Amino acid sequence: MKTTVTEIIEKSIAKFANYDAVIWPEKDEIIRRTYREMGEDIARIRSGLHEAGFTEDAHIATVGRSSYPWVTTFYGALTGNSVIVPIDMNLSDDDIIDELNRGDVVCAFVDPIKKTLLERIEAECPKIRKIVLLTDKDGEYSYETWKAFGVGAPLFEIQPADPDKVAAIMFTSGTTGVSKGVMMTQGSLGADAVNMYYHLAPGSVDLSVLPIHHAFCLTVDWIKAFEQGVTVAINDSIGHLVKNIKKFEPHVILMVPLMIETIYKKMKSVNPLVPKKLVGSQVFGKNLKHIICGGARLDPKFIDEFKKYGVDIWMGYGSTETSPVVSFNGERGIKWDSLGRPIDNTEVKIIDGEICVRGDIVMKGYYNMPEETNKVLKDGWFYTGDLGYLDEDGYLYMSGRKKNLIILANGENISPEEIEGAFSTVPIIGEIVVVGQGTNLRALIYPDPEKAGKMKAEQVQKEIDKAIRDYNKKQPSYRRLAGYELRDEPFPKTSTRKIKRDLITMF
């Protein structure tokens, strides 16, 4: 029997009623909501949506940062059998309007930061009948006013959910091409949360730092954590991360590789006479023992380095189309250089070098894009577009993206991610992208601004020259870098810090 997201949240509200569900900083205070209080607010949102005529299958958008109003709106819509459409608020206004329209949204909950967009939504999104601001301030459009409306409406009970029913349409961030609306079902999200095997005690703290509209954050922080009665602490700003780690003392944090690389470089800059375990405790607090990493490939050497600071990195693999976690290093076995073994009830096989996935976690398809759907869903298998292999023990390894593969004029095939990873611990290199040019490989490099800012330009170039020479000495001729170019600005990125390679021009 498939577990649905609605079943998970309904059971958690009852089972963990008196535990804190969500906490967040507000000035010098920590604001708290228990599972019982959260359940009451979810019911108010659900009842308000139903009373306003947004019934089963209505598409409800959330455009905003991680917040308690966002989370209760998400569950309010899902438990009433509506379809939630999370949208990245950091997109351009044009792209937000486009995804609202392509997602067939009829009601939008919008962060007050995007208040200037309301007139455009009203003018350019003809299907949207109601806009609500995700704020606790009273007003015609506010979340608090909407909750009050829900209190006055007849109670609309939690609706039983069909596991195969579409629960969410999540637009891929799109490192290349137009974004696609991934249709995730009640059962695919539920299966991913239930079958991802790691355990925290009720009341443990999960510090949520990634964008909430992203599948990795949404499923692990806001569904898996709730399934276990965990308290989710909202990190209000990436600039406040270290301060909030000290404030909330989390037991687990989700991160993407770029965050891990940045933290490592800062820890490495500490006086080497200071014991690494002491540095780790100062940065991560007394409770944090595990960081769950996903979203992109992480060089395994960071796992070894973080161990020295007293923290294990559990690497996983997945994509939005798989709800998202496919494999995971955790309590059931670990190979530190791998991406773990497939989670329960999920099959992985390699077809012509490509990682393919089958199971309850796989999406229903791309919304209103049948041709794109047919390209990746074949005979029950989802073709991920990632290159990799399974070892003799069933652990998964990834070498790069199929679409990023560099085919040199001499016929050699190169995964640029593998070469870029070799420079991830070089202090002077902030970001690097490797491309092919004829029979050679070349690099575009953005120096680390903090490190480079303290050095003359000649010294920066000298250190980068040395890093490339050291790398080339260990490589066969076809994997050596023939040259590089420095850039003054960081690479354009998605909201999950993946570099948008299609926007990069060089040489």
How confident is the model over 213-229, as pLDDT tens digits? 999 999 999 999 999 99
The DSSP symbol for 330 reads B
Rg (CA), the chain: 23
For the chain, percent of residues with pLDDT exceeding 90: 75
Length of the chain: 507
Q: Would you say residue 199 has pLDDT above 50?
A: yes
**348/346 Cα distance (integer angstroms):** 7
Report the DSSP pairing between strands 107-110 and 130-133.
parallel
Cα distances from 415 to residues 66, 202, 225, in angstroms, run: 34, 42, 35
- Cα torsion angle, 490, 491, 494, 499, sign: negative
Among candidates 225, 202, 201, which has minimal Cα distance to 212?
225
Domains with residue ranges and CATH for the chain? 5-161 (3.40.50.12780), 205-402 (3.40.50.12780), 405-503 (3.30.300.30)
Report the DSSP pairing between strands 354-359 and 346-351.
antiparallel
Condensed to tens digits (0 to 9), the pLDDT of residues 3-55 reads: 999 999 999 999 999 999 999 999 889 999 999 999 999 999 999 999 999 98
Q: Would you say residue 505 has pLDDT above 60?
A: no
CA dihedral 213, 219, 225, 226 (to 10 degrees): 80
Condensed to tens digits (0 to 9), the pLDDT of residues 390-427 reads: 999 999 998 888 888 787 766 677 888 889 888 988 99
Token output for 239: 């600039």
Contact call for residues 68 and 134 (beta carbons, < 8 A): no
Look over the chain and give the mean of its residue pLDDT values, rounded to a whole number: 92
Question: What's residue 140's pLDDT?
Answer: 63
The average pLDDT across 186-210 equals 96
Token output for 49: 């949506």
Condensed to tens digits (0 to 9), the pLDDT of residues 244-272 reads: 999 999 999 999 888 898 899 889 889 99
CB-based contacts of 381, cutoff 8 Å, min separation 6: 349, 351, 356, 357, 358
**405/403 Cα distance (integer angstroms):** 6
Question: What's residue 177's pLDDT?
Answer: 62
CA angle 151, 24, 40 (to 5 degrees): 20
Q: How confident is the model at residue 175 (pLDDT cuts 50, 70, 90)?
A: very low
Question: What's residue 55's pLDDT?
Answer: 87
Report the DSSP pairing between strands 83-87 and 59-63.
parallel
Question: What's residue 507's pLDDT?
Answer: 45
For the chain, percent of residues with pLDDT exceeding 70: 96
- For residue 300, give the 3-state DSSP assignment: coil
Condensed to tens digits (0 to 9), the pLDDT of residues 434-486 reads: 988 878 899 999 999 989 999 999 999 999 999 999 999 998 888 899 999 99
